[in-house]
Amino acid sequence: MRTDTSPGALPARAPLALVPGEPVLDVVIPVFNEEKDLGPCVRRLHEHLTRTFPYPFRITVADNASTDRTPEVARGLASVLDGVRSTRLEEKGRGRALRQVWSASDAPVLAYMDVDLSTDLNALLPLVAPLISGHSDLAIGTRLARSSRVVRGAKREFISRAYNLLLRSSLAARFSDAQCGFKAIRREVAERLLPLVEDTGWFFDTELLVLAERAGLRIHEVPVDWVDDPDSTVHIVRTATEDLKGVWRVGRALAVGALPLDRLARPFGDDPRDRSALPEVEGGLARQLLGFCAVGALSTVLYLLLYSAFRAGTGPQFANGAALLLSAIANTAANRRLTFGVRGRDRALRHQAQGLVVFAIGLALTSGSLAALGAATAAPAHSTELAVLITANLAATVLRFLLFRAWVFPERRDTPVNVKDDIR
C-alpha cells in the first residue's frame, strides 16, 4: 500500500467558514471521449446550480486522455460559462482524474458526477448540505434506498446489488451504494484520505468510502432518482474484475493493519471512541452490549437447537431445562471472555456458579411461560412453544445482562472514586 504522507489528525467538524466570492463547491465531471454529451451536461448542470445553489460554485471538466473533440468542447464551455474550467490528463482513469482535481482545488466541498447526468440534479443540494453545515465528512447518492426511484435493466440491477452485498460481506461496509456516480467530500477529509487510496480507476470511490468508514468518519446517504444511460461505455466484465482485485487488496491491508486510519479520527465529540472521556458515561457499556448481544444470539440458536433435539424424546419442561442449562454454561463462558474480558482460571468456578443463579432466573421465566401456555392450551403447537420461549428469553436477557455486569463480572476500579462522583 502507499505510505502515508497525509497531514495530521482531522479537526473537529464545524460549519464552513465561507469566503465571499470564492467557490464553496467544486463539481468535477470526469470524461473520456464524451464530445457528444459533454456540452448538454455542463450547460444543464450550470443552469441548475445558478438557479438553486445559494453559494458560489465551480464546475471542473476533467478530461481523461480523450482522443476525440472532448478537450476542445471542454475549453469552449470554460470560455463562455462563468465558473466552468477544464483540465487535461494524459492518462485514463476516473480515480486519477478525481485525485488530481480534488488535490488542487481550493473549494471546501468537492463533488463529482457522471457526464450522463443519470442522477436527478435535485439531489445535489441535499448531498452537499451536510458537508457545508459540518454534520458529515462524505456524502453519497444511493440508488438502493427504499425511497429511491431507479430505471435500469435487470442485468445492471443484479450486478449493483451483488457488488454491494460483496462489500458488506467481505469488507463489512455499511454504506448502501458504492458505485453511484454522485458523491461529495469535505476538502480537509480528502487531503487526509487521498494519499491512502491506491486505485486510479472505477474502484477509487469504493476504496475511499471503505477507508473513510473504517476511520470512523461520517458518511451521509441521499436517496436519488436515477435513470440508466443505455449508451454507457463502461466495460462491465473488466470493471468487475478490477473491483474484485481492489476488494482483495483493501481487505488484506485492513486485516494486517497496514493503513494508519487512527490518524483520521476526529477529536472529542465526533469520534464515539472518545466518549470514554465522559465521567457520566461508562466507556465499556457500548462494547459490552454489542458483545453480549452477539453471544446471546448464538446462545439462543444453540438453545433452540438443543430444545428441539431434546423435545423429540421428552416433555417440554425437561427439554427446556436441559437446553437452558447447557446453553447457559456456554453463554457464561463466552460472556466471561468475549464480553467482559476476563482471562485465566481465576474465579472461573465462582463465575459459573453465579451464572447458574442467573440461569435459574431464566429457567423460572421460561418454565413459567410454558406452564401458562399449557394451562391455556391443552396441546400447543411446537411453533407456538418456540414463540413463547423466545419471548420469555428476551425478557430474561435484559435482566441477565444487568446481573452479569453488576454482580457476576463487575468492573474493577483501579483508581479512587472521585468524591463528587460519589455524591452525585
> Within 13 Å of residue 221, how many CA atoms lie on the same side as its CB?
17
- Chain centroid to CA 24: how far? 26
Integer Cα distance of 340 and 359 in angstroms: 18
Q: Would you say 299 and 334 are in contact if contact means Cβ atoms under 8 Å apart?
A: yes
Q: Would you say 176 and 122 are in contact if contact means Cβ atoms under 8 Å apart?
A: no
Integer Cα distance of 112 and 215 in angstroms: 22
Residues whose CB falls within 8 Å of the CB of residue 124, separated by 6 or more in sequence, listed in order: 27, 48, 49, 52, 53, 111, 113
Q: Would you say 144 and 163 are in contact if contact means Cβ atoms under 8 Å apart?
A: no
- Tell me how long the chain is: 424
Told to judge if 116 belongs to the known catalytic residues of this protein, a careful annotator would answer no
Given 26, 63, 177, 205, the catalytic residue: 205
Integer Cα distance of 201 and 249 in angstroms: 14
Q: Give the H/E segment covering residue 149.
A: strand 149-151
Integer Cα distance of 190 and 6 in angstroms: 10
Active site members: 205
